[in-house]
Chain A
Amino acid sequence: MLAGSLAILVLVLALLIAALLRRPAQSDDSERGTGLWLWTLGLAFPLTTLAALTVYGLQMGERLLPRDTPDLVTVTAEARQWAWTFGYPDAPGLATDGVLHIPAGRPVDVQITSRDVVHSFWVPRLAGKLDALPGHVNVLRIEAPAPGTYSGQTAEFNGAGYAGHVFTVQAHDPAAWVRFLQEGPP
């Protein structure tokens, strides 16, 4: 996408420079050139590029869409100023602060909400961000490729403690996940 953007940029700037350097003996007050400049470059060109871009974007978006799978795990994330509390419906009563535990290699639905102001749940390496709104529950599908820790942060301004409002995601292998659900965090 970056390459495409750069190509367009170069094309536009090249045309601009050519237009500046061209010095017709007589400047032309007519409307000749409408076909090239307006129909072709102004209208047809962006329409085709945008069509391609949108199709591509929608396909990408489609892939990120949550789908029903048998090994799906659900967790909850509740934000407040300036902390996160995570819950695990698979282990009622279990809650962790500041660290979200998930199994690696399995799709996870995070049910995100807020207790006070608007926050946003964002783990850059796992998925895009989704807002935590009081009174609403938004569901984000994430999947950690391998066990390990992933850093996450709030990405919607929420007051004085915004900069320090971060959390981590801890992805476990299957054995460690079962142990976590039974015994809580180590």
Chain B
Amino acid sequence: MTQKPPRRGTALRLHRQLERIWSPDPRFRGWLTTNNNNDVGRLFLAVATLFFVIGGLLAMLIRAQLATPGSAFMGPEAYNQVFTMHGTVMMFLFAIPFFEALAVLLLPGMLGTRDLAFPRLGVYGLWVYIFGGSAVIVAMLMGLSPDGGWFMYPPLSSAAFSPGIGADVWLLGITSIEVSAIATAVEIVVTVLRYRAAGMSLSRMPIFAWYILVVAVMILTAFPPMILGSLLLETERALGWPFFQVENGGDPLLWQHLFWLFGHPEVYIIFLPAAGMIATILPVMARTTLLGYGWVVAAAVSLAVLSFGLWVHHMFTTGIPHLGLAFFSAASTLVAVPTSIMIFSWIGTLWKGRVQMKLPMLWLLGFFATFVIGGLTGVMLAIVPFNWQVHDTHFVVAHLHYVLIGGYVFPMIAAVYYFQPLLTGRFHYFRLGAVAFWLVVPAFHITFLAVHVVGLLGQRRRTWTYDEGQGWELLNLIASTASFVMAIGFALVILDIGITTFSGLRGKRNPWGATTLEWAAPMPSPAYGFASIPIVRGRYPLTDDPDLPQRIARGEGYLADTSRNRREALIVTTTTGKPLQVAVMPGNSALPILLAVVTSTSFLAPLVQAYWLSALALVGVVIVALVWVWTTAPRQSEGLVDAGHGARLPVAAESPDPPGWWGSLFLLVADGVHFGSLMFGYAFLWTVAPNWPPPSYLVPTLLPVLLALGGAAALAAGPRLAARAVATGHRTALALVLSLFGALSLATAAASVMLARQDPAGHAYDAALWLLAGHVGFHAALAVIMLGYLALRRISGHGLRVGEARIVSLWADFTAATGLVALAAAWLPGTFA
């Protein structure tokens, strides 16, 4: 290979220009206005770690209480709050945000692009999470925590048995975290599918990108049932709509289905990112390539698919019919197959390589030892007769922690150590890391082996204390003592990483000899990521071309031209990775945090009964969102631009499928699942709940039916006509008016349902009708706002773009289709009764 002398001058000049374009505001307020993935990811990571510490302190309180029988340290009221908060904080405020943070930090580098697809959406997600999480913690400090366990079964969590705002804190806090997770998931999906290095086809993507893509799609499909569950429970608590009250046609089992439809996939949503990190780090530590890349991708996808069929195994003891039990029991054990493929792919990788015992590798070994045991106890749990015996004992607690700590926390620590040089530019020089490891892992096993045994002896989880003389004292004392050692170990890990971050040694690029693109960036990774978008020819670009980092820095990739003086990234075709469009990224702005403030206010104000404030904040959400969209949309058309390498590409905003179209598509996937869950709940109550059918039915009249049919047709046709008119340069006014008319008719039809049944608190049937009608009304209102925006663009003379009209068309189609289904579900039973 001929080695060209590095032209340092070019690289340095390019660096300076890009730095100016991409860097955040250097003043303190830069932290509030930045939308660069490096900054967002760091904040995300720091906050998630803080929640881990809080959850850990709560765990220490639990173990202190359980250390001795008859302990007077806490009473049942305090203990119930503490374990509920421990579970909630760990699952919602630590585990999910922590991997999202790593994805935000690392994904652009791995994919060879400069930032995530929707930088501002990422900021928004971050702040909604911070506000929602803080509200939950503040409530806890005021002694107002929820105390019904992290799965909050009604009727225990209903207003009758949980007066006070504890349960509302949980519901509203968790909902805001889910909104944040969905925002991040949409961002991740679109980034992986569209924003990559030139030539990076799907089969050349780094393995972590596959994993996180699967996880993000799972978030979009698993969280909506939970959001619906929270909505039902909150409307029941606040307005008395009886979704879970048996006397009025509700059924508490509905909550359990919705919760576990989310809760089971949640376990894999947590595990798969960790697995992605293992599959990334392990081959590098073994100086080889991952064995069976395709197998591992297939395993990740099938694990995700399987995990949606398994929720019922959390309800084995609720009296599910025998055949159902057999099916779900068999299916539950089946998840062991993809898991085993991953495990053996990793061991096979270690087999063919030469393993180096660096710190990340040490933590991966901790993972193996722990996770295999956790998986096996999981298989034991899936066997029905066994499950009947140990369900709800500390055996389950131990199993859960083997999987969560061994399968998630240990790999994440490995990941942080592994990526630390890239993120901070500094290296480890201290032996503290190894010491911490040898404290945590053995202490972990002592703790939870003891907890396994005490569970088999019959100690129930969630009991605040136990009596002497059952043979549990010594085991509990051992578990508690070891857990304090483990906590010290975790504290040392955090200290160690902190020390290195602020005072580690500087070192050279790619210290581990990795083969993927993120290591081609300078260290620490600058705001712009890559000086030019790399061109890759294989799955291991740094092995294929060791010179790649220098070439990227000299601007030999795409988009090295800074003369347009704005943040640009490359959009590629989804499967083959061919350059397709040039995306213009937004600059620093305070709008996302502002939107997060108003969103969180509208969520949290109901906690203090400030419903007017909540409504006001909702108006604020609409206004800020409109300003946001208005100011990001470009004013002039510029046609094709030079992307480098002779490629002249359209700007993304002028394409028929701009990133916003893709983002809307995936947001609508989540919305569709939410709607599907609503239909499921309605059908479930109809068929399973006692006290059905309802005393009387809604019988539709002709006018609303006609309005619905006509409205849906107009709403589906209008935006299409508008998009066609824009493309052919015709007038759009008529099409817009037609769409508006459609949305309003549909909303009127929905309103007729509510007017006909004026007491949603009477029977679950009426409450369900209100929700169905509410779904239609909400989406119709959304359509009206979007149409208003299009009209404004037209009137103000900025001109409409095909892409914008197609985005609105997408939402309008969804509104029309689900609107018809919802109204049919409301009207048909009454028609035939």
Contact = CB atoms under 8 A, between A and B. Distances in A.
B318 A54 contact: no
B464 A28 contact: no
A61 B354 contact: no
A30 to B, nearest CB: 8
Interface stretch (A38-46, A71-79, A96-104, A178-186): A38-46
Contact of B691 (A16, A19, A58, A135): A135
A175 interface: no
Contacts of A22: 351
A19 B351 contact: yes
Contact of A46 (B155, B319, B340): B340
A131 B463 contact: no
A30 B461 CA distance: 48
Interface in B653-679: none
Given A34-B291, A116-B161, A162-B462, A41 B340 contact: yes
B756 interface: no
Given A33-B351, A53-B383, A58-B329, A43 B462 contact: no
B60 interface: no
A33 B348 contact: yes
Interface residues of A, number: 68
Contacts of B391: 128-129, 155
Interface string B371-387: 01100110110111111
B681 to A, nearest CB: 16
A124 B336 contact: no
B340 A42 contact: yes
A16 B319 contact: no
B460 A153 contact: yes
Given A41-B340, A135-B251, A58 B291 contact: no
Task: Determine the interface band of chain B, counting residues with CB < 8 A from chain A.
Answer: 35 or more
B348 A61 contact: no
A136 B319 contact: yes
Contact of B341 (A32, A38, A127): A38
B292 A31 contact: yes
Nearest to B343: A12
Given A9-B373, A129-B391, A29 B289 contact: yes
A139 B318 CA distance: 10
B344 A41 contact: yes
Given A65-B322, A131-B319, A117 B155 contact: yes
B829 interface: no
B291 A31 contact: yes
Contact of A133 (B319, B326, B333): B319
Contacts of A60: 383-385
B788 interface: no
- Main secondary structure, interface of B, reads helix
Contacts of B388: 64, 127-130
Contact of B347 (A19, A34, A54, A162): A19
- Main secondary structure, interface of A, reads mixed
B340 A45 contact: yes
Given A133-B318, A134-B252, A64 B385 contact: yes
B386 A9 contact: no
Interface in B296-323: 317-319, 322
B465 interface: yes
Nearest to B389: A128
Nearest to B690: A135
A91 interface: no
A127 B389 CA distance: 8
Contacts of A47: 337
Given A16-B368, A162-B462, A37 B317 contact: no
Contact of B76 (A116, A124, A138, A160): A160
Contacts of A16: 347, 350, 365, 368
A44 to B, nearest CB: 10
A128 B380 CA distance: 15
A148 to B, nearest CB: 18
Interface string B444-470: 000000000000001011111110000
Interface in A43-71: 43, 45-47, 50, 53-54, 56-58, 60-61, 64-65
A52 B512 CA distance: 43
Nearest to A8: B376
A131 B156 CA distance: 14
B424 interface: no
A38 B295 contact: yes
B690 A34 contact: no
A37 B155 contact: no
Interface in B189-224: none
Contacts of A23: 354-355
7 contacts: A5-B379, A13-B369, A42-B340, A60-B383, A61-B325, A155-B317, A159-B161
Which are the 9 A-B pairs with shortest beta-carbon distances? A128-B388, A37-B348, A135-B246, A138-B319, A42-B341, A19-B350, A163-B463, A42-B344, A19-B351
Given A27-B287, A58-B384, A136-B319, 12 more contacts: A9-B376, A13-B372, A20-B365, A41-B340, A43-B341, A47-B337, A50-B337, A53-B333, A56-B383, A58-B329, A64-B385, A162-B464
